[in-house]
Amino acid sequence: MTTILIIEDDYRLRKNLTELLREEGYETEAAENGAIGLGKAKNIIPDLIISDVLMPEMDGFEVLEELLKDQETADIPFIFLTAKVEKENLRRGMNLGADDYLFKPFGIDELLDAVKMRLKKKELNDYKTLALREQLTAKIPHELRTPLVPILGYAEMIETEEDPVVIKDMVKIIGYSSKILHKRIEKFLIYKDLCVKEKGKNFLFNKQDKTRISSNLVCNYLLSIQEDLNARERTKINLQPQTLCISDWHLQTVVTELIENGLKFSGGNSNISLEGFTKDDSYFITVKDNGRGMSKHEIKAITAFNKFGEDKLSEHGLGLGLAIVKKIAELHGGSFNINSEKGNSTTCEVSLPVESKDYKIFEAN
C-alpha cells in the first residue's frame, strides 16, 4: 500500500489530512514537527511526503535538505504546504527540488490531484530505474568481458613465450585493452553518479565551479582521447573564450565525449569541427561530424546503453557517451540537442550557463 508522510505542526490540519488520505486508500504517518518527521521519513521511507514549510524544531526546507543527503530518501516526492507566497520561499523550495507547492487554504480536489500526480511520476521513475537495472544486467558482463579476454589470454601466453619481439607486441595489446576496460568502467561510474544526483534532484551547478573554455583548454582535453583516433589532427577548433558555470572535470567530460563520438562515427579518417559561442546567458558547444547521420528514431533512442546502428558498426562500448553529456548539461541547467539526417552529417549541440559578473573566475590549466 502507498504510504504518505504528513509533517504539519497544526493539529487540526494534520488530523484532517490524515483522515482524508486514509479514506482515499492511502496508508498515512504523521509528525508534528520537522525533526520528528525527518526521523519517520528515514525509518519508513514513504512514497510521498506532504510537509508544512514553517515549523518549530526544524522547518520543511531543512527536512528536505537532510533527506537529499541520503540516497535512500533523496528521491521521495515532496509537496510543500505554505501560507506564504513570497518569491524567496518559492525559489528556495524549487532550488532544493520540491515537487509541488500547495497554498493554504487549499481544496480537497487540489490536494488529491497533486498527490496523484506526484505518485504517478514516482511510479514512472521507478519503472525507468528498473529498466536501467535490467540493461545493466544484460550488457555490462559482455562489454567488460570483451577487453578482458585479450588481457587474460596474452598474460597467460607471455609466461611461455620466449621471443622478446612477440612479448613486446603482447604487452602492447594488454596495455591497449586495459585502457579500454578502464574507460568503460569509468563511464559506468560517471553515469551512475549522475543518475543518483538526478534522482536526488541535486543540480550539479555550483557558484564556485567556474571554468574558462578556450582553444588551448580543448587541445589539452584532446590529449585524453585514444591515440588511434588522431583526435588533435582531425578536430578543427573555432570557439570564443568564455567563463562557464561548470567544473573543469565536467566540462572535460562533455567536450571529450562529444569529440570522441564524432570521430568514431565520421567516415574513414574525415575531420570533425568544434565550435563555441555565447548567446544571451548561455554558451553553445557544437560538434559536427561527417558520418552516416542518424534517423529521428535513433536520435530519440539516445539513452543509457542504447547504441545506434549496432548491427552495422564495429565500434564497441557501453553507448553511454552522449547519455552522459545529456545528463551533465541538464543537471547544470543547460540542454543537449542532436540535428542529423540519415546519410548526412550529425551535429551535437550542448548549452551551458555562462558566469555572471558577481562570481570569481576559475581558470583551468
CATH superfamily label, 211-353: Histidine kinase-like ATPase, C-terminal domain (3.30.565.10)
Q: Measured between alpha carbons, how far apart are the two ends of the chain, in Å?
A: 54
pLDDT of the residue at 54? 84
b/e sequence 203-222, b meaning 16+ C-beta within 10 Å: ebbeeebbbbbbeebbeebb
pLDDT of the residue at 357? 45
**Segment among 101-110, 132-141, 239-248, 263-272 with least mean pLDDT:** 132-141
pLDDT of the residue at 314? 38
**Mean pLDDT of the 218-245 span:** 85
- pLDDT grade, residue 226 (50/70/90)? low
Q: Which of 156-170, 248-262, 332-346 has the highest mean pLDDT?
A: 248-262
pLDDT of the residue at 266? 79
Q: What is the domain partition of the chain in residue ranges?
A: 3-126, 132-199, 211-353
SS3 readout for 323-352 = HHHHHHHHHCCCEEEEEECCCCCEEEEEEE
Higher per-residue confidence, 278 vs 85? 278
Alpha helix (H) ranges present in 242-319? Answer: 248-265, 296-300
Asked, colleague to colleague, whether 132-199 and 211-353 share their fold, the answer is: no
Rounded Cα distance between 274 and 338, Å, is 14
**C-alpha neighbours within 13 Å on the C-beta side of residue 121:** 15
- Answer whether CATH 3.40.50.2300 is correct for domain 3-126: yes
pLDDT of the residue at 75? 81
pLDDT of the residue at 209? 81
Interval 287-296: pLDDT, tens: 998 877 777 7
What cell numbers appear for 82 in the block?
Answer: 505554505
Neighbours of 355 (CB within 10 A): 21
Residue 268 burial class via C-beta count within 10 angstroms: exposed 0-12, middle 13-18, buried 19 and up? exposed
CATH class of 132-199: mainly alpha
Residue 317 has pLDDT above 70, yes or no: no
**Segment among 78-82, 185-189, 282-286 with least mean pLDDT:** 185-189
pTM exceeds 0.85 for this model:
no
Q: CB-based contacts of 269: which residues, under 8 Å, 6+ apart?
A: 230, 234
pLDDT of the residue at 196? 66
**Segment among 14-18, 138-142, 197-201 with least mean pLDDT:** 197-201
Residue 5 has pLDDT above 70, yes or no: yes
Residue 284 has pLDDT above 90, yes or no: yes
242 near 276, Cβ under 8 Å?
A: yes
69 near 97, Cβ under 8 Å?
A: no
Backbone angles phi, psi at 277, to 5 degrees: -155, 155
Rounded Cα distance between 194 and 345, Å, is 29
pLDDT of the residue at 362? 36
pLDDT of the residue at 152? 85
Residue 121 has pLDDT above 70, yes or no: yes
Residue 20 has pLDDT above 70, yes or no: yes
